[in-house]
Structure 1
């Protein structure tokens, strides 16, 4: 359904860095051409192998981007939250999607048709530059993930991931442990064993189902 220029549609636009250089009136204009999409946990936004022609801006909730290997094992490429966007590759490439986007909790998104985005980029080149900047950053992160999975030990991957989650001493997981394990390229059982080992070593304390208290930050940093 159309956002009807309401607060949600405009807020959705204001949250996104690619539109940060636009005026309020220009953002309102973009909100006019957005439509709202609500998803429950587990709903698919788009699937690998199918064409998608829209840009999706996350207003509330979180979405995981996944790929499946030949054996059907899921690899999480990234998890995105409010203010971030997906579907940008369809703007530049008419090939079928190579990954799938799935809501990992109740999610509200603003959808902008691909042709509308192209028209906006022609009028406001800053949008195109911001999208390219985001794509570059995502490519760097994807390359770093591939390198970690290929060259780093399981212990190093888990420790590094914990340290990257937050600068505070208490980390609250923003995904299930199964999804976290998939993102790190390991089984959930392996992840659970390593977390227990870290706790036994006095490096962390497991708090509830998704909480991790960092006890020895330097110890985590020293893991090879």
Structure 2
């Protein structure tokens, strides 16, 4: 019965199966390429079975009269067979290239092969279904191709340049590239016509492939995204160059935005009566970190120079009398006083100048040797520590969460809110700190009760920001209301 249905009227069967295959193929989701390929093979196999069993020869043009009532069926049946053959071949190509795992080359090769398959299908239908002489058509199309080539010269240049860039692989999607014309950014899209680059200003620059192929290109993302920065610094020659170099190494060692491995380098570039010229060489994890890292390094260089008593040199181009230049004998190194550190701490911003001065008078000096553990994770510091000199590492478990440098502070949560430290603090170098205890701070809160609310808000924000950076779970005890309640309890006792 099935045999009669398929082979009784083979042309009608071919048309029916071909159209049914197209409908089923379009209804299948594009997210299931394997299922689509199976459907294509099944329908093409069934159509081939009908063709072979019925003696129909789709690869030959046998000729027929337009008056023949079956002429339309013959044309439609043969055309459908060739279409399903092309789809089956394309399905195999797509599946093979997906399994190969090279998305960029696969897409290019897939487009090229699919284009050849469709051209071959169209020529086959013209030759074997309609009997069109292909030789004459190709000769005529050559003239048309020349005309189109001249008209589309710019577009074709972009297409072939895109092929060359794809096969050469100077970059892939996601790479950060720098062009010789100054364009810089991350590659977000690359197609036949152009390459799209997302710049640091959050703009998308679209460059034609033919233009891009002519430019010198630096791929900042290879072999990895770490990026070298070189920062020149000029220090007044009031100390031995070796001492200046050590201070600069301390500044780089306390920076949280740069890469630790390979370690940063301090190179002495020159020495004259006006300055010790230094070059700081360090790496960042990605090009997007260049500005934050440079800002932090400059800030730390200033803080470490002030802490060590170094002076920044005047610009090389500035006119200056020799007698005005500082020397080891005449230089007056900047002093870092407790009052200056207190004025730099955000939680004390609400204090008046008088209150800050009184608080500074109560500070005590503490010193730690290299390797000393200042506080363990989970312990509480009942005093605030302001770093006068040295570097402190903050560790949570086995991971280093950051480093503290001169001008930074810690222990404020224990002093004001009886909160435990979430990191272990260890001295990486000899460290000097100024200490303020609860007895010194109590009179301020007793005189100004509203000050506790301002401090509680600031401490809550600092605790939330730190825990986000350290990927630690939030705690209800770190809310502004809970901190305020604790502050009032501590300082009323």
TM-score, normalised to structure 1, is: 0.50
Which structure ranks higher in relative contact order (CA pairs < 8 Å, sequence separation ≥ 6)? 1
Higher helix share: 2
Greater C-alpha radius of gyration: 2
TM-score by length of 2: 0.24
